[in-house]
Amino acid sequence: MRAALEASRRTSTAVISKLYPTRSHTGAAQGGMCAALGNVEEDNWEWHTYDTVKGGDYLVDQDAAEIMCREAVEAVLELEHMGLPFDRTEEGFIAQRRFGGHTRDHGKSPVKRACFSADRTGHMILQTLFQQCVRHNVTFFNEWHVLDLIVSDTPAGKVCSGLVAYDLKSGGLHVFQARSVLLATGGFGRLFKITSNAHTLTGDGPAVCYRRGIPLEDMEFFQFHPTGISGIGILLSEAARGEGGILVNGEGEQFMKRYAPTIADLAPRDIVSRAIQKEIHEGRGINGRDYVHLDVTHLGREVIENKLPDIAGFARMYLGVEPIDEPVPIQPTAHYAMGGIPTTVDAQVITDAAKTPVHGLFAAGECACVSVHGANRLGTNSLLDIIVFGRRAGIKMAEHSAVTELTELPDDPQSGVEAEITRLLEGDKGVRPATLRDQLQQAMTDDCGVERSGDSLARAAGVIASLRDRYSGISIDDRSSAYNQDLIEALELGFLLDLAEVTLAASAARTETRGCHYRTDFPERDDENWLKHSLVARAPDGGFDLSFKPVKFTRYQPTERKY
């Protein structure tokens, strides 16, 4: 919507969304959006860049991080001017709070950099952008599901001329022709059983690109957030620790002080998740079980009710725990895809290290990899990413559309999708998609989670290969055309299978530990061999083509990552 808003000022623009747009996962973002405003404490965008690069374990493209951190300040102020109700300081400035890995003066101490609207920041962003889009006459196709991209190989290279979408209300397939197409389809946490991600985050955008011959970048890097509600994964935002909450093990110890002496509970997520896992493995979970405690009791009722109301509500609703009086059981939960569709800093999709573009195709937000998050994203940098790179994408798309003719469409561009839908609707009784999805999620959680090894990845790849075979024989119960969720879930499972395969291939290839990719068989970072981005493309024989892309450095050389 940020891109649409920008493009709509210059050209005719539509948003296609499988959900009603204000139900997008951005609406679940609680903690905040960061920018070095310096409203509460001294800060500057260069410190923010340093934190982002270090937080990403030096796999971040530093030119992209500089753009994001510099443009952050304007991005926040712009949203404020559009009407977003940020919390305020007593003097009336936009309030700011602490978040993991955000520091002053290159790691000296935590800094207050996250701007927020209680713990409903993402909800406010969505509402604000939706209102602005309506005001600027953006056309919306709500509950339309994009199932394919139309990409042709021409003498000038790959060209995207439109897409194929399925109208959920009527069950019809439609072809859209466009000069510029942007994918902003969000993440794919539904690869995992325990996840903070909404049911709909199935990675359709990256999977469709992969099927169309576009490689995916850095797919081995999937972030596990330390504080998911134990057993279900629903997120308790880092804002709880930003406001002073602490993590406690079964011995009553604030164990993060041992792992990150300087910033303790506010260390980046990869470090905290791994520490929790270690405490649990070594028998220091609560009563020896597979969770630890998030304790906010010392913050008092007023802070909890005013600054963390939704988080408190989740603890009450899902666990029956009153966070004002007792600590909350938590465990790491699959949260954020650092990898995705490779792009330039103007959101143009590219296919290799030489930055060969797919003309007319753009990607931004969690589905894209620009790469500002490297091997581990810092909290509050994603809401920032979607606004900064959404805006840049909108500008570039409008420019591209102004100088490009509509490309002729191939014959029957919808035929592939049509055949797949017919197969699912008319097939014989077979295995149910939900059964396969459960097995996929279980295998990924068990063997490609916070910790992985060559053996565990091979095991998971075996499971996924057998699920792939069985997928060709699935059947669905609902054969109707209106709101056929059975059909949609079967198609989404197809996307998840593709992404599971790519994630496992990229994870098996990277024989080092970096950021959230923790290989128990290769526990050290290996800059000599692995300071590079991975690209996995589908090979003509159905296997994988693995290639690499250099990391862009501007001023920060890799050093040991300590907090």
Ligand X SMILES: Cc1cc2nc3c(=O)[nH]c(=O)nc-3n(C[C@H](O)[C@H](O)[C@H](O)COP(=O)(O)OP(=O)(O)OC[C@H]3O[C@@H](n4cnc5c(N)ncnc54)[C@H](O)[C@@H]3O)c2cc1C
* Shortest spacing between CB 383 and ligand X, in angstroms: 4
204 part of the interface to ligand X, by CB under 6 A: yes
Stretch that binds ligand X, among 15-23, 284-292, 402-410, 417-425 (CB under 6 A): 15-23
117 part of the interface to ligand X, by CB under 6 A: no
Q: Pick one of 16, 59, 209, 551: the residue that binds ligand X (CB under 6 A).
A: 16
269 part of the interface to ligand X, by CB under 6 A: no
Site for ligand X in 125-154 (CB under 6 A): 145-146
Site for ligand X in 322-361 (CB under 6 A): 336
Question: Running DSSP on this structure, what letter comes out for residue 376?
Answer: S
Q: Pick one of 110, 268, 340, 365: the residue that binds ligand X (CB under 6 A).
A: 365
> Closest by alpha carbon to 220, among 530, 543, 467?
530
Cα(485)–Cα(489) distance, integer angstroms: 6
User: Would residue 269 show up in a list of annotated catalytic residues for this protein?
Assistant: yes
206 part of the interface to ligand X, by CB under 6 A: no
388 part of the interface to ligand X, by CB under 6 A: no
- DSSP assignment of 182-251 equals EE-----GGGSSSBSS-TT---HHHHHHHHTT--EE-TT-EEEEEEEETTT--B--THHHHTT-EEE-TT
Site for ligand X in 27-56 (CB under 6 A): 28-33
Q: Pick one of 4, 21, 248, 512: the residue that binds ligand X (CB under 6 A).
A: 21
Given CA atoms 213, 496, 198, 134 in this order, what sign does their dihedral have? Answer: positive
Q: Out of 179, 269, 392, 561, which one is annotated catalytic? A: 269
| Total residues interacting with ligand X, rule: CB under 6 A | 37
Give all strands of the β-sheet with 328-337 in edge-to-edge order.
222-229, 328-337, 292-295, 246-248
Q: Pick one of 8, 185, 227, 507: the residue that binds ligand X (CB under 6 A).
A: 185
- Checking 103-111 for CB contacts under 8 A at 24+ apart, the result is 103/47, 103/51, 103/263, 104/41, 104/42, 104/43, 104/47, 105/47, 106/47, 106/50, 107/50, 107/51, 107/54, 107/262, 107/263, 107/563, 109/262, 109/263, 110/263, 110/266, 111/41, 111/43, 111/47
Stretch that binds ligand X, among 240-248, 279-287, 380-388, 460-468 (CB under 6 A): 380-388
Q: Pick one of 383, 488, 500, 551: the residue that binds ligand X (CB under 6 A).
A: 383
24 part of the interface to ligand X, by CB under 6 A: yes
The alpha carbon torsion through 330, 332, 335, 339 (nearest 10 deg) reads 170
513 part of the interface to ligand X, by CB under 6 A: no
498 part of the interface to ligand X, by CB under 6 A: no
Instruction: Give contact residues for ligand X (rule: CB under 6 A).
Output: 16-19, 21, 24-26, 28-33, 121-122, 145-146, 184-187, 196-197, 204, 235, 237, 336, 365-367, 379-383, 386
Give catalytic residues, as residue numbers.
269
